């Protein structure tokens, strides 16, 4: 059994050292936090959502079994905290994870929370219940879970097929709230009921989302705020101007690009702004199932042609990160160290030398100064996709590849990629949890729905399982690095950069922590307060 | 006259039927549906989940069945449910109509109350500095996109006053209520006012050269009586036509203005609904707009007879 008290002490210490946390003075009760929301989410059900547009406003309605410490920017196994679970323990063979649940917790409609609700939530996620989620984008997270069993009203166990320490990380994600058994998935889309610090009031599509304080919250004295109001403003210029004018207390988290951040700082010099990695990588998807990219030499040439620093300098004024599949350190827990990264072809600092090598590969494949390869570079019709795609096309020119931008509407992007109707694509991949299991299985395992390039390497898949079962994080890291290096060398999905983005809030907003290795897990907002 | 009215009303019904077919078909021609978009956003697709959702929403049925389901419901006043919010479409659309109606009405009022008098002044003062100045203003009005003008107004408001006139659902003061609608209405109505000014000016110039105007002046009528009573009354028909057309075009301007000023009206809602391929919302909203446009055209035709007694609608 792990000591919850020890964790609590660690949490208290880390609160004092958290770099992007603003805590000052004695918290004041009251006030409504006003945030603009970047778009109108499809519905209010986090379990069915696949964008942080759902997590940000609705995470405050719920609790998880465990959660990442909301005052520590970096999510890591050391920052896991109990929430609806009071404690947890692994069996000796690490195949059974048991949670002791908190007693006296009530749903917002007054009904008691019990282990049945936990079982219902995960049966729903695993597709084992009578009721079904309309969409279940994270079903694969629970592939290694055999079943959920309860023992009385306040104990629940996860029986695993094999050890998987990362299960706790996934349970701590903002994407894994506990739902009530007695409310249908359909009702949870329109009127969510949770146990969290805020009760749902209303969601007017394209207008606003309102939450109010839960006076019966099981954490006594919390939340500090009377409520939170999200005003949906899809036009970024309007939203930022409104923040500058003081209509909002906070911008939508990680919504401010680096160039816009300078505008805000000049117009609202008192605002507090932080820039953190979003754990969203911009990468290239290559259709290796048809010519010309069925030729590994051409795929390698593309990877060698990348000048990643140029992307970072142009798009982020130098404030983004270069790495492999996993978010690079220091914010990323699992990313390769710089010296290892630079041994991967294309990651070395000498771009010209890399491109000379790429040219030789292209010439070997029959292309050269007199015979260019014409390709369409497909991407989604969103600025964060289009802008790097244009730079990519420019860089590919240096190795005899003439790219033509093929902008695809969002509705058609995934179907197009899924039916392999593209040659070369520029894609963004978000990781809700900074853990290799989430990233490797989802994006690189044979047959995964999100493995857009159909990369399939049975040998490397065995290594996925090996790292996944490793309990010791220090032993697991080198395994992860080797896999990540191999994925880059295989040109499975060349990573160009990991983005960073800014968040700003007014000086009187206290207790905000922006997570530095995930954009999905830090919005409980139970101890935010307004110093005014 | 009665037969003419009946004929026009029947024509309106045929037009609306045609529009309903066009909307329905166009929406299905556009690639992707709500299910594609939901799964695209989630970045995965489970064929079974997808099929279930298509069945649940009824978009797996033959097109003719879907059309009949929609149009028969529409005629009964049952607009169905929004695919996205899962609320009744009527409940989603109705609260937004007054917002857009107020905005459009104010924009048209702005257009007419600014454009017509200034057009008359510009014509009467033809060739003077004032005329040139007004022509420059009208040209700039026609050249400035309303979204850009809107952003300029917002930026200037923040820079100069530290305030921002974006939509406030519960205005506390008269000024807030005014800012909520008047500023965006001016932004969207500026182009329309400029057009009205130019049409009024050219129409007035033509009328002011007529013999009966010279006669009126010779009889000693005042400038105001000549310009506003004799000339404007005869010059107003093209202006009414333009305002009628502008009323229809206004929805395009309102889409960007509602977005820039963050006004939760029908126009912005329509764009979002199109983005999600929320058929019940898009179909019913476009039909609503079509009805407004058809009725506006009909009203304009009737106004011709009011303003020009020589026009008579006969059988």
Q: Which chain B residues have a beta carbon less than 8 Å from that of A244?
A: 158
**Residue percentage of chain B with pLDDT more than 90:** 50
Residue A68 has pLDDT above 60, yes or no: yes
User: Angle between the A383-396 and A308-316 helix axes, to the nearest 10 degrees?
Assistant: 140
Question: Bigger pLDDT: A508 or A420?
Answer: A508
Question: For residue A78, what pLDDT is reported?
Answer: 95
* Helix/strand/coil percent split, chain B, to 5: 80, 0, 20
DSSP secondary structure of A24-57: -SSPPP--EEEEEESS--S-S-GGG--SHHHHHH
| Tokens 């490397």 sit on residue | A460
Q: Does some domain include residue A244?
A: no
Cα B119 from Cα A522, distance rounded (Å): 58
CB A338 within 8 A of CB A479: no
Residue A141 resides in a domain: yes
Residue from B31, B85, B170, B183 to probe the interface with A (highest A Cβ count within 10 Å): B85
Distance CA A244, CA A262 (A): 12
* Beta-carbon separation of B32 and A411 below 8 A: yes
Scan for tokens 């009024």, then name that residue.
B200
Region A417-445: mean pLDDT is 92
Q: Report whether pLDDT(A20) > 80.
A: no
Task: Please give the residue range of the domain that contains residue B242.
Answer: 95-307
CB pairs under 8 A between A and B: 118
Q: Where do we find the tokens 């906070």?
A: A250
Q: What is the DSSP letter of A212?
A: E
Report the pLDDT value the prediction gives residue B314, as an integer from 0 to 100.
64
Same domain, residue pair A299 and A173: no
Phi, then psi, of A261 in degrees rounded to 5: -60, -35
Residues of B with CB under 8 A from a CB of A: 31-33, 36-46, 49, 52-53, 56, 82, 84-87, 92, 151, 154-155, 157-158, 162-164, 166, 259-262, 264, 268-269, 272, 275-277
Q: Is residue B18 part of a domain?
A: no
**Rounded to 5, what percent of chain A is helix, strand, coil?**
35, 20, 45
Q: pLDDT category, B178, cuts 50, 70, 90?
A: confident
CATH of the domain at B151: 1.10.3720.10
Is residue B21 domain-resident? no
pLDDT bin (cut points 50, 70, 90) of residue A19 is very low
Do you find a cis peptide bond into A292, omega within 30 degrees of 0?
yes
Instruction: Quote the CA–CA distance of A170 and B288 in Å, as a whole number.
Output: 47
Which residue among B42, B86, B261 places its CB closest to the CB of A135? B42
Binary contact (A238, B38; C-beta < 8 A): no
Q: Do B36 and A415 touch (CB under 8 A)?
A: yes
Confidence tier at B313 by pLDDT (50, 70, 90): low
Structure tokens at A101: 């649940």
- Tell me whether residue A463 is in a domain: yes
Q: Which of A263, A414, A447 to mutate to test the interface with B (most CBs of B within 10 A)?
A: A414
Sheet with A32-37, strands from edge to edge, namely A32-37, A227-232, A208-213, A198-204
Q: What is the pLDDT of residue B124?
A: 94
How far apart CA B148 and CA B138 sit, in angstroms, is 16
Position B130 scores a pLDDT of 96
Residue B52 counted as domain residue: no
- A202 and A196 in contact (C-beta within 8 Å)? no
* Structure token digits, residue B197: 């000014």
Judged by average pLDDT, the poorest of A62-71, A173-182, B76-85 is B76-85
Residue ranges making up the domain that contains A74: 32-231+506-530
CATH number at residue A72: 3.40.190.10
Residue A221 within a domain: yes
Please indicate, yes or no, whether residues A525 and A427 belong to a single structural domain of this protein. Answer: no
- List all residues 6 or more positions away from B282 whose beta carbon is below 8 Å from its beta carbon: B23, B27, B270, B273, B274
CA distances from A269 to A266, A507, B45 (A): 6, 10, 45
Q: Is the pLDDT assigned to residue B315 strictly greater than 70?
A: no
Are A435 and A514 members of one domain?
A: no
pLDDT digits (tens, 9 = 90+) for B43-66: 777 788 889 899 989 999 999 999
Alpha carbon distance A294, A454 (integer Å): 12
CATH number at residue A375: 3.10.105.10
Please list every residue in chain A whose beta carbon sits closer than 8 Å to the beta carbon of residue B260. Answer: 235, 237-238
Asked if B44 and A137 come within 8 Å (Cβ–Cβ), the reply is yes
Rounded to a whole number, what is the distance in Å from the CA of B2 to chain A's nearest CA? 45
pLDDT band at A133 (very low <50, low <70, confident <90, very high): very high
For helices A473-489 and A458-469, give the axis angle rounded to 10 degrees.
160
Query: Of A498, A471, A208, A448, whose CA–CA distance to A335 is shortest?
Result: A498
Q: In the predicted model, is pLDDT for residue B68 greater than 70?
A: yes
| pLDDT for the residue numbered A14 | 44
Of residues B85, B157, B259, nearest to A234 (C-beta): B259
Q: Does the CB of A204 have a partner CB in chain B at under 8 Å?
A: yes
- Give the whole-number percent of chain A exceeding pLDDT 90: 86
How does pLDDT run across B90-146, given as a tens digit for each residue? 999 999 999 998 899 999 999 999 999 999 999 999 999 999 999 999 999 999 888
Residues A443 and A522 in one domain: no
Report the candidate in A117, A226, A126 with the shortest Cα–Cα distance to residue A177: A117
**pTM value > 0.90:** no
A98 has which bridge partners?
A: A89, A157
Q: What are φ and ψ of residue A179, in 5° steps? A: -100, 155
Q: CB distance A411–B277 less than 8 Å?
A: yes
What are the structure tokens assigned to A279, written together? 């754990």
Calpha distance B206→B183 (Å, rounded): 34
ipTM above 0.85, yes or no: no
Determine the Cα–Cα distance for residues A443 and B127; give it in Å rounded to an integer. Answer: 71
Are A256 and A317 within 8 A, CB to CB?
A: no
Which residues, other chains included, contact A471 with Cβ-Cβ below 8 Å and sequence gap of 6+?
Answer: A94, A163, A165
Overall domain count for chain A: 2
Q: Does any domain span residue A125?
A: yes
Residue A415 in this model has a pLDDT that exceeds 80: no
In the predicted model, is pLDDT for residue B32 greater than 90?
no
In this structure, the answer to whether residues A493 and A372 fall within a common structural domain is yes
H helix intervals, A141-201: 167-171, 185-190
**Nearest-neighbour CA in chain A from B166: distance (Å):** 8
A204-242 core/surface letters (b: 16 or more CB in 10 A; e: else): bbbbbbbbbbbeebbeeebbbbebbbbbbbbbbbbbbbb
| Domain count across chain B | 1
A182 lies in the same domain as A303? no
Query: Measured between beta carbons, which residues in chain B are less than 8 angstroms from residue A206?
Result: 264, 268-269, 272
What residues of B are in contact with residue A49 (Cβ under 8 Å)? 42
| Residue B237 maps to a domain | yes
Higher pLDDT residue, A110 or B160? A110
- Find the helix or strand (DSSP H, E) in which B280 lies: helix B279-307
Residue B298's pLDDT band, with cuts at 50, 70 and 90, is confident
pLDDT of A13 higher than 50: no
* DSSP helix/strand/coil, B230: helix
User: Are B42 and A50 an interchain contact pair (Cβ–Cβ within 8 Å)?
Assistant: yes
Q: Of A266, A359, A280, nearest to A316 (Cα)?
A: A280
Same domain flag for A224 and A373: no
Among B260, B289, B262, smallest CA distance to B274 is for B289
User: What whole-number percentage of chain A has pLDDT above 70?
Assistant: 95
| Cβ–Cβ gap B164/A204 under 8 Å | no
Element of type H or E holding A390: helix A383-396
Q: How many residues would you count in chain A?
A: 532
Q: How close A41 gets to chain B, by Cα (Å)?
A: 9
Shared-domain flag, residues A192 and A328: no
| Cβ contact A237–B92 (<8 Å) | no
What residue of B is the nearest CA neighbor of A419?
A: B45
pLDDT per residue over B187-231, tens digit each? 989 999 999 999 999 999 999 999 999 999 999 999 889 988 889
Whole-number Å distance between alpha carbons of A61 and A212: 9
Q: How would residue A382 be classed by pLDDT, with cut points 50, 70 and 90? A: confident
Question: A245 and B86 in contact by Cβ < 8 A?
Answer: no
User: Is residue A42 included in any domain, yes or no?
Assistant: yes
A511 and A488 in a common domain: no
* Residue A24 resides in a domain: no
Burial class (CB in 10 A: 0-12, 13-18, 19+), A484: buried
pLDDT surpassing 50 at residue A3: no
Q: Is the pLDDT of residue B281 over 80?
A: yes
Contact yes or no for A190 and B151 at CB 8 A? no
For residue B212, what pLDDT is reported?
92
Beta bridge partner(s), residue A37: A232
pLDDT beyond 60 at A182: yes
Q: What is the mean pLDDT of residues B286-296?
A: 88
DSSP symbol at A151: -
Which candidate from A49, A206, A246 shows the least CB-CB separation from B269? A206
Same domain, A333 and A319: yes
* Summary mean pLDDT of chain A: 93
Is the separation of the CB atoms in A278 and A326 below 8 Å? no
Would you say residue A17 has pLDDT above 70? no
Q: Which of B81, B34, B85, B97 is nearest to B274 (CA)?
A: B34
Residues A125, A106: one domain?
yes
Residues A488 and A424 in one domain: yes
Tens-digit pLDDT profile for residues A461-509 = 999 999 999 999 999 999 999 999 999 999 999 999 999 999 999 999 9
Residue A261 domain flag: no
């Amino acid at each position: 059994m792990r000591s919850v008290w020890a964790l609590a002490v660690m949490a208290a210490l880390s609160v004092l050292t958290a770099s992007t946390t603003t805590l000052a003075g004695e918290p004041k009760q009251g006030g409504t936090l006003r945030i603009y929301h970047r778009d109108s989410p499809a519905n209010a059900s986090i379990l069915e959502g696949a964008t942080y547009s759902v997590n940000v406003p609705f995470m405050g309605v719920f609790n998880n079994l465990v959660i990442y410490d909301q005052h520590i920017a970096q999510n890591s196994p050391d920052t896991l905290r109990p929430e609806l679970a009071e404690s947890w323990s692994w069996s000796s063979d690490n195949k059974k994870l048991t949670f002791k649940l908190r007693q006296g917790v009530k749903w917002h409609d007054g009904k008691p929370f019990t282990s049945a609700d936990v079982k219902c939530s995960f049966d729903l996620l695993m597709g084992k219940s009578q009721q079904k989620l309309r969409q279940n984008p994270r079903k694969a997270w629970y592939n290694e879970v055999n079943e959920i069993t309860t023992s009385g009203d306040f104990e629940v166990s996860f029986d695993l097929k094999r050890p998987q320490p990362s299960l706790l990380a996934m349970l701590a994600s903002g994407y894994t709230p506990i739902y009530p058994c007695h409310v249908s998935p359909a009702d949870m889309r329109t009127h969510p009921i949770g146990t969290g610090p805020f009760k749902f009031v209303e969601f007017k599509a394209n207008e606003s989302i309102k939450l109010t304080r839960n006076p019966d919250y099981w954490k006594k004295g919390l939340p500090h705020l009377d409520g939170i109001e999200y005003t949906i403003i899809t036009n970024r210029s309007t939203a930022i101007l409104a923040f500058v004018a003081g209509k909002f207390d906070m911008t939508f988290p990680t919504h401010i690009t680096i160039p816009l951040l300078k505008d805000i700082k000049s117009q609202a010099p008192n605002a507090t702004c932080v820039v953190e990695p979003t754990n969203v990588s911009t990468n290239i998807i290559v259709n290796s199932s048809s010519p010309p990219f069925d030729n590994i030499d051409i795929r390698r040439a593309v990877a060698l042609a990348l000048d990643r620093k140029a992307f970072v300098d142009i798009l982020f004024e130098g404030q983004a990160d270069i790495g492999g599949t996993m978010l690079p350190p220091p914010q990323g827990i699992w990313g390769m160290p710089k010296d290892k990264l630079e041994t991967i072809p294309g990651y070395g600092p000498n771009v010209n030398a890399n491109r000379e090598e790429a040219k030789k590969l292209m010439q070997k494949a029959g292309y050269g100064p007199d015979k260019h390869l014409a390709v369409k570079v497909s991407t989604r019709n969103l600025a964060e996709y289009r802008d790097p795609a244009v730079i990519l096309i420019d860089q590919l020119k240096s190795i005899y590849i003439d790219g033509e931008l093929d902008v695809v509407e969002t509705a058609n992007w995934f179907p197009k990629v899924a039916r392999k109707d593209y040659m070369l694509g520029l894609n963004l991949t978000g990781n809700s949890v900074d853990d290799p299991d989430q990233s490797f299985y989802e994006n690189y395992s044979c047959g995964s729905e999100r493995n857009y390039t159909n990369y399939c390497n049975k040998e490397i898949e065995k290594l996925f399982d090996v790292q996944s079962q490793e309990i010791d994080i220090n032993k697991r890291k080198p395994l992860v690095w080797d896999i990540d290096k191999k994925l880059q060398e295989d040109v499975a999905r060349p990573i160009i950069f990991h983005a960073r983005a800014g968040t700003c809030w007014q000086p009187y907003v206290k207790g905000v922590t922006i997570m530095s290795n995930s954009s999905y897990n830090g919005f409980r907002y139970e101890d935010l307060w307004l110093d005014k | 006259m009665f037969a003419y009215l009946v004929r026009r009303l029947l024509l309106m019904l045929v037009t609306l039927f045609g529009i309903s077919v066009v909307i329905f078909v166009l929406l299905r021609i556009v690639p992707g549906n709500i299910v594609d978009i939901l799964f695209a956003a989630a970045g995965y697709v489970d064929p079974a989940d997808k099929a279930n959702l298509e069945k649940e929403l009824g978009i797996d049925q033959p097109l003719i069945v879907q059309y009949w389901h929609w149009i028969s419901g529409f005629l009964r006043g049952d607009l169905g449910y929004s695919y996205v919010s899962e609320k009744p479409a009527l409940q989603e659309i109705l609260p937004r109509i007054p917002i857009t109606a107020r905005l459009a009405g104010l924009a048209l009022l702005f257009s007419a109350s600014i454009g017509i008098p200034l057009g008359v002044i510009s014509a009467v003062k033809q060739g003077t500095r004032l005329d040139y100045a007004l022509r420059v203003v009208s040209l700039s009005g026609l050249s400035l996109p309303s979204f850009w003008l809107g952003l300029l107004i917002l930026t200037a408001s923040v820079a100069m006053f530290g305030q921002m006139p974006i939509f406030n659902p519960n205005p506390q003061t008269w000024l807030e209520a005014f800012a909520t609608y008047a500023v965006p209405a001016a932004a969207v109505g500026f182009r329309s006012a400029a057009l009205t000014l130019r049409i009024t000016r050219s129409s007035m110039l033509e009328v002011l050269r007529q013999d009966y105007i010279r006669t009126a002046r010779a009889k000693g009528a005042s400038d105001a009586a000549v310009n506003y009573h004799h000339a404007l009354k005869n010059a107003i028909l093209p202006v009414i036509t333009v305002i009628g057309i502008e009323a229809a075009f206004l929805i395009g301007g309102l889409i960007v203005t509602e977005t820039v000023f963050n006004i939760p009206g029908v126009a912005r809602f329509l764009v979002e609904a199109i983005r999600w391929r929320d058929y019940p919302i898009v179909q019913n909203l476009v039909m609503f707009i079509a009805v407004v446009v058809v009725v506006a055209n009909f009203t304009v035709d009737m106004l011709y007879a009011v303003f020009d007694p020589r026009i008579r609608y006969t059988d």
